[in-house]
Structure 1
Amino acid sequence: VALSQARGLVALTALAGLAGLAAELYRPAASALLTDLTPRGERITAFAVYRTAINAGIAAGPAVAGFLAEKSFLWIFLGDAATSLVFGLVAFFALPRGRPEPLPTPTPGGLLRAVRADPQLRRLLIGMFGAVFVLFQIATTLPLRVEALGFSMATYGLLVSVNGLMVAATEIPATSFTVRLPPRLAIGTGFLLIGLGFGAMGLATGFVALTAVVALATIGEVLAMPVAGAFVADIAPDDMRGRYQGALGAAASLGVAAAPAIGGALYGWQPAAAFLSFALVGTAAGAVVALPRAPGPGSGFPQTTGENPVPTVENHVDNRHYDVN
């Protein structure tokens, strides 16, 4: 609500930053709670359902905001505050508490040590940063490309709707397929498709072609993102699930932050170089995650097979390394 009354760049920047920070605080805890309440073999589907609910809200938000804006922009901020308050009350009073047994207090600096010591986590964080950097070009260089081709912003809105509708319609059904894949294959392939989709944007000159490249990138998103959330849940020690999910969210947020600055600068310099860069970054992100397992402890990714869709793993002492049976 305070943001609606802000005047001046400093106040707007400070309040927008605080609002963005507050909006993201729940995510690690929500993902950790989802992990606690979901058996290992069902986590990919659970994260897909969770993401579908988020995307449904994202899709509905602009339409509701447009309706409220016709009355007054203040109503948008008041409505957002009201729904956030309701969500907070529901979360506090209605959501389960997660694990009933107490867990040991996490060691300060434990996450940084885990990132340094755990190649599978480190690779995923690097890949997630790159993939989200490319995926978020849907809000940065895609509108510039649409405008350069002579289309209206209404056309851009339709392309964004293609992404949202595809995610909402296919992400949950797709888990019946992705749950049977090795996690590194599903995530790596998804990241690769994201890169190829936005890399091919430079070749698209018509609405059908633009729709096709957005659809290709969206298929990559559907393949990779629920599996990535479930994978982090599986490799995290019990007392660090929130921190692991927070690290994954931080990697994604860094990708979002870098997308407009770097992507916009590249596009302004040379559009062809920008699209080639998106393809290379997406390919590299997929390769980092999908690299073959190297010998040695802590270097492998959980695997699945068609005969046994649930990862069959053995926890070692550090709760982060998995061996395939």
Structure 2
Amino acid sequence: MRGWLRETAGGLPATYWYLWTGLLINRVGAFAMLFLSLYLTGSRGASEGLAGLVVGAYGAGGAVGVLLGGVLADGWGRRATLVWSHLAAAIGMLVLAFANDLATIAVLAALIGVMHSMPGPAFVAAIIDVVPEERRSRAFNLQFWAFNLGMAAASFLAGLLAETSFLALFLVDAGATLATTVLIAWKVPETLRRTTGRRATRTPGNAGAGTARRPGLVTALTDRTFMVFVGLTFVLAVLTTQTSTIMPLAMRADGLSATSYGIVVALGGGLIVLGQLFVPRLIDGYRKHLVLSASTALLALGFGALALADHLPVYLAASVVWTVGSMLAAPPNAEINAELAPAVLRARYQSVFYLTFPAAAFVAPALGGVSLQHLGDWHWVIVGGLGLAAALGHLLAGPPRERRVAVLRTAAPPASSAIVSTAGAASD
């Protein structure tokens, strides 16, 4: 067992482990927004529909933040983007802790959404910068494991804490974010390499393949193969976002407490902590689109089963199903994203990919709150059907995407060209 752990976790650079540790610390404390809908309806008197819109403002802010974070990480730098976005998020959470007016809370939620989403592209771009390609699957798997290790501890503790003090949720969140800021500023060097030249990027496999394009978000947004993958990931994000936005409202409607919600979320995180390290061996040798199709189908079945859930054991059983789906999806999703991104646009491609999560954080509660209020359990039937449609989409989109990746590898420039220019690099 000890040798297997060394094989799983070894061979990764020190900078990666500082990034990994920062993510873990942040996740242990980053539970306040999980309980925002309960806070709004329980402490601020908001309706389910209004609470969904306010939580949706957080997602809308995240959509802006993830694109801004990608542009800044490619131009300003990975380290600077990580440090200042975390610091601003900590300050915003402190202000939110003492806000009373719903309109003020909505504005703060949107601003915090911006700051919470900005680090995502920089984190992943920095990991790709420092981790060799043959070890990235391991690195991404461990990153997903750290995220859920923190969330498992945070969700259980927050479920208990929310029964007595929502204020403490926001304060602990701010403290953990500040601790991450200090660690990155102290230990993580800048990983973005620069030169004085300016390069265009090519996108083999699309219409106009081989034609130079100005490096920027437009390149990613007009990359058809990549955007199909992003669209399918958006559906996955809508499914997983149900856990933090709509499921707590459904559980409360079934007479279950915030502690019960914390137990369900903690179970999922605990399963990932125990099992995620085994996932690479489980899926090794299978084509990525087949793994993604199977994982999305499991997510669909898990959330669809909530149409029949009235008691905690059913929620826990459904959580096991969708958690296994999430575990299987994490490594191939990250690998495909890295494979499709040109080196000079690494963070921008990451930002477009990560846009799916704040976009889902807006769409899921904004529509889901109304859907749950008016359709009841049929909401979960619709969510399950959407997931099964995405599972079919992965089966259809996988083979052409594999051909595109093969072309990109053949046409890949030498390592020396994977350098981002200083002149105009942040112009988008």
- What TM-score bracket applies, with the shorter chain setting the length? 0.7 to 0.9
Counterpart position of 2:105: 12
One-letter amino acid of the structure 2 residue matched with residue 217 of structure 1:
W
Are the equivalent residues in 2 in contact too, given 1:124–1:288 (CA < 8 A)? no
Q: 1:104 to 1:32 in 2, by over 3 A?
A: farther
Report the alpha carbon displacement of residue 217 of structure 1 after superposing the two structures with TM: 0.8
- Distance of 2:301 and 2:346 partners within structure 1: 32
Counterpart position of 1:225: 330
- Distance of 1:316 and 1:211 partners within structure 2: 46
280-289 vs 102-111, greater mean Cα deviation:
102-111
Report the alpha carbon displacement of residue 30 of structure 1 after superposing the two structures with TM: 0.6
Q: Note the alpha carbon deviations across 1:129-187, whole angstroms, 9 max, x for none.
A: 11111222223443344345454443333222211111222122212222432121222
Are the equivalent residues in 2 in contact too, given 1:44–1:230 (CA < 8 A)? yes
Q: Note the alpha carbon deviations across 1:21-71, whole angstroms, 9 max, x for none.
A: 112211101101111222223222211211222223233335666888899
Are the equivalent residues in 2 in contact too, given 1:28–1:246 (CA < 8 A)? yes
Among candidates 337, 358, 369, match of residue 253 of structure 1: 358
One-letter amino acid of the structure 2 residue matched with residue 54 of structure 1:
F
- Distance of 1:89 and 1:207 partners within structure 2: 39
- Distance of 2:106 and 2:147 partners within structure 1: 25
How many residues align structurally? 307
Structure 1 residues not aligned, in runs of 5+: 304-310, 320-325
Among candidates 319, 330, 340, match of residue 235 of structure 1: 340
Where do residues 232-311 of structure 1 align in structure 2 (5 Å cutoff)? 232-291=337-396, 299-301=400-402
Structure 2 residues not aligned, in runs of 5+: 1-93, 201-212, 414-428
In the superposition, the TM-score normalised over structure 2's length comes to 0.63
- Distance of 1:47 and 1:59 partners within structure 2: 18
Are the equivalent residues in 2 in contact too, given 1:195–1:283 (CA < 8 A)? yes
82-91 vs 60-69, greater mean Cα deviation:
60-69
1:118 lines up with 2:224 in the alignment = yes
- Distance of 1:159 and 1:39 partners within structure 2: 36
1:86 lines up with 2:192 in the alignment = no
Counterpart position of 1:315: 409
- Distance of 1:179 and 1:22 partners within structure 2: 36
Report the alpha carbon displacement of residue 288 of structure 1 after superposing the two structures with TM: 2.1
Q: 1:302 to 1:59 in 2, by over 3 A?
A: farther
Q: 1:99 to 1:179 in 2, by over 3 A?
A: farther
- Distance of 1:69 and 1:208 partners within structure 2: 21
Report the alpha carbon displacement of residue 104 of structure 1 after superposing the two structures with TM: 4.7
Where do residues 1-325 of structure 1 align in structure 2 (5 Å cutoff)? 1-62=94-155, 77-98=170-191, 100=193, 102=195, 104=198, 110-119=216-225, 121-291=226-396, 299-301=400-402, 315-317=409-411
241-250 vs 148-157, greater mean Cα deviation:
148-157
Q: 1:19 to 1:176 in 2, by over 3 A?
A: same
Q: 1:84 to 1:153 in 2, by over 3 A?
A: closer
- Distance of 1:283 and 1:100 partners within structure 2: 42
Residue 6 of structure 1 aligns to a residue in which SS?
coil
- Distance of 1:73 and 1:287 partners within structure 2: 41
In the superposition, the TM-score normalised over structure 1's length comes to 0.81
- Distance of 2:367 and 2:328 partners within structure 1: 26
One-letter amino acid of the structure 1 residue matched with residue 223 of structure 2:
A
Report the alpha carbon displacement of residue 313 of structure 1 after superposing the two structures with TM: 7.2
- Distance of 1:155 and 1:66 partners within structure 2: 7
Report the alpha carbon displacement of residue 225 of structure 1 after superposing the two structures with TM: 2.2
Are the equivalent residues in 1 in contact too, given 2:299–2:322 (CA < 8 A)? yes
Report the alpha carbon displacement of residue 199 of structure 1 after superposing the two structures with TM: 1.1
Identity across the alignment (%): 26
Are the equivalent residues in 1 in contact too, given 2:152–2:265 (CA < 8 A)? no
- Distance of 1:20 and 1:125 partners within structure 2: 20
- Distance of 2:298 and 2:166 partners within structure 1: 38
Q: 1:176 to 1:302 in 2, by over 3 A?
A: farther
Residue 402 of structure 2 aligns to a residue in which SS?
coil
5-14 vs 97-106, greater mean Cα deviation:
97-106
Are the equivalent residues in 1 in contact too, given 2:220–2:349 (CA < 8 A)? no
